[in-house]
Amino acid sequence: MRPPQRRPARALRALAVSVALALGNPVTSAADPLADAPAAAWTKRFEKALDVVDAEHRGAEIGVYVRDLESGQTARYRASETWYLASTVKVPVAIAVLRGVDAGLFTLDSKITLRAADYVDGAGLTNRQRVGAHLSVRFLLEQMIIHSDNTASDMLIELVGIRNVNYVAREIGGDDFGRITTLGDVRRLVYGELTPAAERLAGTDLLLLHRQVRDKDRLALLSRLTETPVARFRRASLDEAFAAYYASGVNSARLSAYGELLEALADGELLSAKQTDYLLGVMRRTATGTHRVKAGLIPGAQFAHKTGTQRRRICDSGVITVPHGLHMQRIVIAACARGELSLERSERALRDVGVALCRSGLITRGIPDEPSCPPLSREEVLSAATPVPPTVPPAVAPATRAGGPGHATGQRAPAAQPAARPAGGVPAGPPR
């Protein structure tokens, strides 16, 4: 299923390049976003800063893709490598759903009935609903994007068909996108690295497994649910199971490909103008990942984004919009971190990616290290550890009465009806 036919923004820009060449006019980098513009000063500063961030956060290897949609200038840091996307795959899901809306197959107010088989562990309000509840497409889509609701995601995937979700991803990224699966299958594939019997796990089983805090308890429960002794598991630990699952390439992509998908979305190439505005508006309301890239940007910057979180893998990707008077600057960023078990430390690494971008000058009118940009995490630690010398040396300080001028207080300055769900109900586009 395709959006309404119109000349894509990218094709219009390419046409502008051809006309300019025919007239003998110079072609600026802004007119040719299909090829990277010459490296700008900000790209060099940004990539150099990422070397520092990567070295400082030794447990969390980072990958970053950034593209200024106005100039076409691009910065990459391991962006050509394959990265696990986690829940950022929910953006292609949302696009597939909104294409169904554009095609008139259903509306955002159409209702879907929640079944017992639909439950998947994770955040959001859908798991709090009773079996038989009638939930609107709008509710499910917003829960999926804003709160990263896995049950909502899988209900929407069944509505449109997983084939259409994969078509959305590969329409732009081609073979740079691995196969996207349901969120329930993510769990079954991970546990399947321990025992093939995991493919039979029901949604309620996944909820029970998720509630186990310790790996030891989760493995013991998995053993009981699959009737497989722990000693016969094919991997020695959950870490090994996740590592093997990640190596399969499922739900993964090059960050450059994911960035190109976001660019096509922002340029209105994937959906009608109405649904493009709606989806970007929902992504601006994302409630997860508040300590990631967004925390490193300047005040006033808007971030329409989607986060992803899984064992030793996190991502934060989207479209940054920065107002400069009447002009709105747009930047695509796709950023992930891997290897670090601590979520807090991984999030700090992605926050520093945002800081590095801010300090590069790209979003601050070309001013590097603009004072409104936050400091890097390391600088905050050093600042907190460095004692602040007194304003007046104690040996020279004049004697004062309590409450008089110069008195030390010890305080610092204030610094519709239910819609039937057809199997793969939205017709898929041509294979690629």
Render pLDDT for 251-287 as a digit per residue (tens, 0 to 9). Answer: 999 999 999 999 999 999 999 999 999 999 999 999 9
Residue that wins the pLDDT comparison between 416 and 217: 217
Supply the pLDDT for residue 150. 96
Structure token pair of residue 207: 């909820």
Average pLDDT of the chain is 85
């996108």: which residue's tokens? Answer: 177
Supply the pLDDT for residue 24. 39
Supply the pLDDT for residue 403. 38
How far is 392 from 300, CA to CA, in rounded Å?
Answer: 38
Q: DSSP labels for 161-217? A: -HHHHHHHHHHHHGGGB-----HHHHHHHHHHTT-GGGGG--HHHHHHHHT--SHHH
Whether 157 contacts 127, CB under 8 Å = no
Residue 308 pLDDT class (50, 70, 90 cuts): very high
From 153, 143, 139, 140, select the one nearest 86 (Cα to Cα). 153
N-terminal to C-terminal alpha carbon distance within the chain = 14
